[in-house]
Chains A and B, each alone.
Chain A
Amino acid sequence: MRALDQKLVRDLLHMRGQVLAILLIVACGITAMVTMMSAYDSLKLSQSAYYAEYRFADVFASLKRAPESLAPRLAEIPGVGQVQTRVVVDVTLDVPDLDVPATGRIISIPTTPQPMLNDLFIREGRYIEPNRRDEVLVSEAFAAANNLALGDTIGAVINGRWEELRIVGTALSPEYVYAIRPTDIVPDDRRFGIIWMGREALAAAFDMEGAFNDVALSLSREANLPEVLFQLDQQLERYGGLVAYGQEDQVSNFFLTQEIASLQVTAVFMPTIFLGIAAFLLNIVLSRIISTQRDQIAVLKAFGYSNWDVGTHYFKLVLLITLVGGAIGTGMGLWFGAGITQYYTNFFHFPVLRYEAGTGLIVTAIAFSSGAALLGAFSSVRRAVSLPPAEAMRPEAPPQFRPTLVERWGLQRFFSASGRIILRNLERKPIQGSLSIIGIALAVAILMVGRYMGDAIYYIMDVQFRQAQREDVTLVFNEPRPARARYAIAHLPGVMQAEPFRSVAARLRYEHRTHRTGLTGLEPESDLRHLLDQQLCTISLPPDGVLLTRTLGNMLGVEPGDSLTVEVLEGTRPTLTVEVMGLVDELIGVSAYMDIHALNRLMQEGQTISGAYLAVDSLAINELYDEVKQTPAIAGIAIRQTTIDQFEETIGTSLGVFTTVLVIFACIIAFGVVYNASRIALSERGRELATLRIIGFSRAEIAVILLGEQAILTLLAIPVGIGVGWGLITALVVAYDSELYRFPFFVDRTTYMFATGVVLVAALISGWMIRRQLNHLDLIAVLKTRE
């Protein structure tokens, strides 16, 4: 090994504490990057491979009922490839060992297997046989969640008749990678399942023989999507077509794509912070090393080492640290990435979710970390290189001190000599001091962000499920019912209060902007459903006009007072003009609300309801479930508590892991910054401190001088960090703002305490380590060496 490289290795070993701190920070950044990027790649590749291989359709539409003879005409729409007509119905299921009724979406399939759009991957068992009308395939996740085996039966109310369906296979479809009920916010595989049933049997049960109520299309490469949607809507309108939509708005694909997009955001966001901090630490450490090695640089130059040689030497030092950090990070990232990808199989159902981490990613990670390191090292190395050898030979000029602000104000009498040393040092090196503050502040900020995710989600839960949605159970009818149905509902077992609602599929239009959503009619002064403003105060429903969620209002560009065009997509399909009376703030989804009576008037229907919100006596709830399972008119049931439980079980666990990882990362940063800053101060000022010891200062007193400075910096950093944390959280709120949900700017008090506490503990530990090193300060050796 060359002598210069030997020096490199020994220097690294000598500074192992500092090197380790930086190395770990680089490793954190690269871990975050590789984890997120590889999960991103894996999901993205699995998505596109699955969609292509199993012919995920490009266009979807549902309707009331159209004759099969319409299909050839749909195929003639320019750009349309394959046409897949089907019968799709939602039914209530009775699953063995499940108290709560489950919702089954039954989708028709040809009685013999043939290549179709949204084709099935059969995981277990076999395809249905032509003459066995009770045979079905069920979605794999539903079967697994309910321990359903091949040969088991599930009970379903099919068009008013109780039927037993026999499971012959489990399957997956690209249409239900993310299987979620339209009313839910998290998937619930126990209570929502997809059932594939022979077309003839299903059609016979629902009066759909020779007809269909759902269609999927594939498009040719040159097809014009908006044009196809328009023509399809025209064709389907007279058959009660709801608005056709493309892949982009298909629910499963929408969630999957959103998740992939947010992975990408995180994959950029997190590593940038970490590598930024690593670059900054490398910068301070290296500039310190270079100033302590002035004379060594001078000697190298005196003996004819060129600027290039000297520069390379220090760059190598930096690269070695980051490459090792990068390698550890890559390894950890691949491990975590595989874990996260595996974790995604809980929500996203692919035939195979292959973990993909290409060499390209690893090369990018290494390039990223090296890039950050070189960036951090650049200015210090340039300073080393540009140091003229004769000048480097001379000791550094004594630093310039001047009376501090405090002294100019005449306040010095309040400070001891040690206090003045601390103050002057801080004032003399404002840049170093501010950089330390920024580093520690970032640790505080990362801790806040880590906890914020949890705070925000529990806030959303609280607002949505405790303040806005106060019902225990929501029942949805299979079709609109007259208002008197509410009395039947009120007499169901355990029901203490029932409030009907009317829900109408509609397309809202303002100027050129449109959005398809449900228009929900609520009882005025409803007890079970509150509409809230930003301050969480209840807004009362106006007797006329519509209230929009703020996000929907923004999407459509409307403000209170504007007139909105509402194209109703059911019944007689009227097109109406409604005034926007105000905006409500909801954190999940986008909705439009009206007084139920006003909605009935607009629809020119009598008092009609689509379902009801119920307050239920918890003791009688199982009786209610049993009753509901047997009631054909009820197509769906949503139970608030199960939603909350499901949510806490799934999101809560993953958040716990996420927060733990962030906390570990932030501790490493906090510790790395504080330890590095004090370690550098110790080596810079060893001579000064030894001198103080010799003239009679105690160890504790010099520790106060050295660590006092760090303590002040840490304390100053905490409010800065809270500010930075607010900034990052604001960025997150913006980054995650989507149709699905919005993150509130809400930071719990415990989060502030937690972030501050962790940083203080990290600072105390590094202070304690430095204090131990101070005890070993060799007074004689320090004084003998030249400064």
Chain B
Amino acid sequence: MSSAQEYNASGAAGIASPAAVFRVRDVGKTYHMGEVDVNALRQVDLELYEGEFVVLLGPSGSGKSTLLNILGGLDVPSCGEVWFRNRNLSQANDAILTRFRREAVGFIFQFYNLIPSLTARENVALVTEIASHPFSPKEALEMVGLGDRLDHFPAQLSGGEQQRVAIARAIAKRPEVLLCDEPTGALDFRTGKLVLDALARANRELGTTTAVITHNAGIAAMADRVISLRSGQISNIEVNDTKVSPSELEW
């Protein structure tokens, strides 16, 4: 568990002087789909800094999800290198990646991916039980405004509530990075904004480096930086000097 403390210690220090959390060098990813090879990513170079809120923008098939999966240790690149602080994730084996995810990463998915047989509290507990010094499930759910829905099953929650449970589940372990794949993709405008607000709060209050994938350009306004992908390559990186709060977003 010493490395977990190390991650968190440096993460806390990161707010004052932004340092690179991720360094991605010349990364490519090729999938073999039956008889065709699909180049999901090509020669991607990228850095993510401590405490920043990044939006990865691009149409479907641009490689956003592949990049996010690689950053989160769900997948390894076909070529190139990915560094998380001083760890080379591109060379890591399954056990190292598992520990990395367990200690450092919080995931949020488009379809929430809650365990349907577990209540909101239990879904969060699933993660807090294996983290080293997490919030309690109740605290985490209160942070996303679901303190009164603790014992509801996913089927008893609306889409926005389910996604907020997913956020509580992701932040409960106090991760260093929060990786969100289309978190509002399945939600309407109003609930989407509630969810984004919860993400922004986690980023602001916990200093968690947050990367959000979306094809919704409207969300870009709340980011520190906007990275655009097209056909597996980064087409543009834009620093946003006029960051707005989620409640002011329009799309």
Contact = CB atoms under 8 A, between A and B. Distances in A.
B121 to A, nearest CB: 8
A392 to B, nearest CB: 9
A299 B117 contact: no
6 contacts: A296-B115, A299-B109, A302-B101, A303-B102, A388-B74, A388-B75
Given A301-B98, A304-B102, A305-B98, A14 B126 contact: no
Interface string B70-103: 0010110000000000000000001100111111
Contact of B126 (A3, A298, A388): A3
A389 interface: yes
A156 B77 CA distance: 100
Interface string B117-142: 11000110111011000000000000
Interface of A: 2-4, 6-7, 10-11, 14, 295-296, 298-307, 309, 388-390, 393, 786
A390 B113 CA distance: 13
A6 B118 contact: yes
B7 interface: no
A303 B127 contact: yes
B69 interface: yes
A301 B101 CA distance: 8
Nearest to B169: A303
A14 B100 CA distance: 33
Nearest to B186: A786
A305 B169 CA distance: 14
B107 interface: yes
A304 B75 contact: no
Nearest to A13: B117
B129 A301 contact: no
A234 to B, nearest CB: 78
A732 to B, nearest CB: 45
Given A3-B122, A393-B69, A304 B103 contact: yes
Contact of B95 (A299, A306, A389): A306
A435 B35 CA distance: 31
Nearest to B108: A302
Contacts of A299: 107, 109, 113-115
Nearest to A307: B94
Contact of A306 (B74, B98, B103, B118): B98
Nearest to A310: B98
Given A4-B129, A302-B107, A389-B69, 19 more contacts: A3-B126, A3-B129, A6-B117, A11-B117, A14-B117, A299-B107, A299-B115, A301-B98, A303-B101, A303-B130, A304-B99, A304-B100, A304-B102, A304-B127, A306-B95, A307-B94, A390-B69, A393-B74, A393-B109
A11 B117 CA distance: 7
B49 interface: no
Nearest to B118: A7
Nearest to A392: B74
A328 to B, nearest CB: 25
A19 to B, nearest CB: 14
A10 B116 CA distance: 9
B126 A302 contact: no
Nearest to A2: B129
Contacts of B118: 3, 6-7, 10
A304 B129 contact: no
Contacts of A300: 126
Given A299-B109, A393-B74, A307 B115 contact: no
Nearest to A302: B107
Interface in B41-84: 69, 72, 74-75
Contacts, number: 82
A316 to B, nearest CB: 14
- Secondary structure class of chain A's binding surface, majority of residues: helix
A303 B107 CA distance: 7
B76 to A, nearest CB: 9
Contact of A307 (B75, B98, B107): B98
A298 B75 contact: no
Counting chain B CB atoms within 10 Å of each CB, which of A3, A7, A11, A389 scores highest?
A3
A389 B123 CA distance: 18
Contact of A305 (B106, B117, B130): B130
Contact of A3 (B99, B100, B102, B123): B123
A298 to B, nearest CB: 7
Nearest to A309: B130
Contacts of B109: 299, 393
Nearest to A293: B115
A299 B98 CA distance: 12
B102 A305 contact: yes
Interface in B161-203: 169, 173
A10 B75 contact: no
Contact of B75 (A4, A7, A390, A786): A390
B98 A298 contact: no
B94 to A, nearest CB: 7
A304 B103 CA distance: 7
A786 B117 CA distance: 16
A550 B199 CA distance: 87
Contact of A296 (B103, B113, B125, B169): B113
B122 A302 contact: no
Contact of B74 (A4, A301, A307, A786): A301
B137 to A, nearest CB: 9
A12 to B, nearest CB: 10
B124 to A, nearest CB: 8
Contacts of A309: 130
A300 B107 CA distance: 10
Contacts of A6: 117-118, 122
Nearest to B104: A304
The 8 closest A-B pairs by CB, nearest first: A304-B102, A10-B117, A390-B75, A3-B125, A390-B74, A304-B101, A3-B126, A390-B69
A571 B106 CA distance: 100
Nearest to A1: B122
B101 to A, nearest CB: 4
Residue of B100, B101, B117 with highest tally of chain A CB at under 10 A: B117
Contacts of A10: 117-118
A92 B100 CA distance: 92
Contacts of B106: 303
Contacts of B105: 302, 304
- Residue from B99, B130, B169 having most chain A Cβ neighbours under 10 A: B130
B126 A4 contact: yes
B117 A302 contact: no
A302 B74 contact: yes
B105 to A, nearest CB: 8
Contacts of B103: 304
B111 A302 contact: no
A303 B129 CA distance: 11
A3 B125 CA distance: 6
Contacts of B173: 303
A295 B117 contact: no
B201 to A, nearest CB: 21
Contact of B72 (A7, A302, A388): A302
Most buried by A among B72, B74, B99, B125: B74
B164 to A, nearest CB: 16
A477 to B, nearest CB: 81
B180 to A, nearest CB: 12
A518 B243 CA distance: 109
A511 to B, nearest CB: 68
A320 to B, nearest CB: 15
Contacts of A2: 125, 129
Residue with the greatest number of chain A CB neighbours at <10 A, chosen from B111, B118, B126 = B126
A302 B122 CA distance: 17
B75 to A, nearest CB: 4
A429 B169 CA distance: 38
Nearest to B113: A299
A212 B127 CA distance: 88
A725 B199 CA distance: 64
Nearest to A298: B113
Contacts of B111: 295, 786
B248 to A, nearest CB: 31
